Structure 1
């Protein structure tokens, strides 16, 4: 079944004076998918999301959300939900006021699901927003983002204030509700290993540029780690490109691009162990490699 693109950008650029926060970015996101928008602090993730949701204006390039520009476009914006860590509410508001107002903005709002989440996160509905802990404030955001069931939902790390148990609950509810009510979800996070099993597609941005735009499953299988006696590892990788390596006494490991079946047999015959690399490790290594290349270009 062919899926239509919900997000399309072409040559998207945003400059702030001499600073280029987003640099000639082109990508698309298919409907009914969970996508990770990943990268270091200051890489450009939040700026991209602000551009996609019509909260900022591009210096150049094109954006199409549901086939249209999001800027001052009510028909597009009414189908979006953008939840961020720095979400602000009127200080005199209480969580119950936020949830009471939510149906005015989100036509797919599900009150029953919201109440289930309120109970799950043990959220005090009658406490003023300014009196909430960071975790409780994060819970308000994730409940709105989940219960809104917007066709396109952006989560810009609003769950960072949650403890590990609450974050896992968020991931579980997101995945279960996504299965029942498919929509397009874009997750921005530093906690890559925590969300790796949720992601169907990965976008990695570094210094304002997209450096990875790949299906998550193929990305996971794109590298292999070989480990064993140092001399055997060094002999095996001698004429191959090494993405990363480590040595400890007489042992060594090396990370290479995915090996062919013949190369895997060769490694096994050499007494080497083969393994995978976590999505987080892979992205860290690719980002470091890009930083080295970018520095060389500069």
Structure 2
């Protein structure tokens, strides 16, 4: 079972702050999505509304074709894991896991036990006594073991060290391939997860800037390097996101697909064309001067 998501003019207002601004978006079920945005862009607010942690101010959100808020049948199929894990600090780790097992209809106890061993979680410790990394690992175990048809990880892995994050990505992909579902990963560590993502959603100021297959978005970013005059001539009329100059050499980041003829012209002009990492592309696309 997988769950798709449909948003129509979704708005969320906190007093004087509009966290989500008439956002419209459709996410088909059964894919891994990357939700990208700068701090304050609305990522956590969006995840909270989709998971029915809070109602929207206006507009519509449908999960599996139904409004999720105060809908027990749908909510039981959604698992949102935030960085803190959303567990009681006074509980022991074993109690937090047992609680999830009782209320998650798709809970896989064998997977949970294996992940507890892999991340070396101390079952007898209270959550409040866990390090930040261990608490993040607990969130990962809860999220993956829930096997929820819609699972959302909201920066849950930020507290983990690099080897633990790598283990998380490995476990997530392996379990997703064996048990397909809809997974949303909200993260700042873009290059670490890019190989997992089938589609990317970039939001800013509560609105969707881009929603595209990951490979399509990456192909639209091109670095152009060469003699400054030749670079300037070639990029005239193109969308330039960034420019770096060193002596007589210029490197420009452009956004937009280049056709075969343009690529031949670049080669003839002695220019070097190269890919742009998704994280760099994200930084340029959401730069302050482009957001204002």
Q: What is the TM-score with the length of structure 2 in the denominator?
A: 0.96
Contact 1:206–1:287, Cα closer than 8 Å, also in 2: yes
The correspondence of residues 204-219 of structure 1 with structure 2, limited to 5 A, is 204-219=202-217
Q: Quick one: distance in 2 between partners of 1:239 and 1:41?
A: 31
The correspondence of residues 42-57 of structure 1 with structure 2, limited to 5 A, is 42-57=40-55
Determine the structure 2 residue equivalent to 1:164: 162
Contact 1:225–1:255, Cα closer than 8 Å, also in 2: yes
Determine the structure 2 residue equivalent to 1:77: 75
Determine the structure 2 residue equivalent to 1:136: 134
Residue 44 of structure 1 and its aligned partner are, at CA, apart by 0.6
Residue 66 of structure 1 and its aligned partner are, at CA, apart by 0.6
Q: Does 1:198 align with 2:196?
A: yes
Q: Quick one: distance in 1 between partners of 2:136 and 2:115?
A: 12
Contact 2:2–2:182, Cα closer than 8 Å, also in 1: no
Q: Quick one: distance in 2 between partners of 1:238 and 1:67?
A: 46
Give the secondary-structure state (helix, strand or coil) at the position aligned to 2:11. Answer: strand
Q: Quick one: distance in 2 between partners of 1:26 and 1:47?
A: 14
2:18 to 11, 17, 20: 20
1:123 to 121, 124, 131: 121
The structure-2 alpha-carbon separation of the partners of 1:239 and 1:79, relative to structure 1 and needing over 3 Å to count, comes to closer
1:111-149 deviation per Cα after TM superposition (whole angstroms, max 9, x unaligned): 111111111111111111111111111111100101111
Determine the structure 2 residue equivalent to 1:276: 275
Q: Quick one: distance in 2 between partners of 1:294 and 1:251?
A: 28
Contact 2:244–2:252, Cα closer than 8 Å, also in 1: yes
Q: Quick one: distance in 1 between partners of 2:88 and 2:231?
A: 60
1:27-60 deviation per Cα after TM superposition (whole angstroms, max 9, x unaligned): 0111110011110111111111111111111111
Q: Quick one: distance in 1 between partners of 2:291 and 2:119?
A: 43
Q: Quick one: distance in 2 between partners of 1:88 and 1:157?
A: 13
Gaps of 5+ in 2: none
Q: Quick one: distance in 1 between partners of 2:90 and 2:18?
A: 38
Q: Quick one: distance in 2 between partners of 1:4 and 1:74?
A: 17
Contact 1:5–1:28, Cα closer than 8 Å, also in 2: no
Give the secondary-structure state (helix, strand or coil) at the position aligned to 1:123. Answer: coil
Give the secondary-structure state (helix, strand or coil) at the position aligned to 1:159. Answer: coil
Q: Quick one: distance in 1 between partners of 2:168 and 2:197?
A: 14
Contact 1:223–1:259, Cα closer than 8 Å, also in 2: no
The correspondence of residues 1-298 of structure 1 with structure 2, limited to 5 A, is 6-256=4-254, 257-288=256-287, 291-295=288-292
Residue 292 of structure 1 and its aligned partner are, at CA, apart by 3.1
Contact 2:201–2:212, Cα closer than 8 Å, also in 1: yes
Q: Quick one: distance in 2 between partners of 1:241 and 1:125?
A: 53
Residue 84 of structure 1 and its aligned partner are, at CA, apart by 0.3
Residue 293 of structure 1 and its aligned partner are, at CA, apart by 4.8
Aligned-residue Cα RMSD (Å) equals: 1.5
